[in-house]
Amino acid sequence: MELVPGNTLITATPDEGRALAVKLARLTVKATQPDAEVRQRLRLAYAEDHHSLIAIAQVVATEYATIAAANNHWR
What residue ranges bind ligand HEM (CB under 6 A)?
22, 25-26, 29, 33, 39-40, 42-43, 46, 56, 59-60
Question: How many other C-beta atoms can be found within 10 angstroms of the C-beta atom of residue 75?
Answer: 4
Q: Residue 43 CB, nearest distance to ligand HEM (Å)?
A: 4
Cβ distance to ligand HEM smaller for residue 29 or 70: 29
- Least distance in Å: CB of 36 to ligand HEM? 7
Per 3-state DSSP, the chain is made up of helix, strand and coil in percentages (nearest 5) of 75, 0, 25
Are 56 and 46 within 8 A, CB to CB? yes
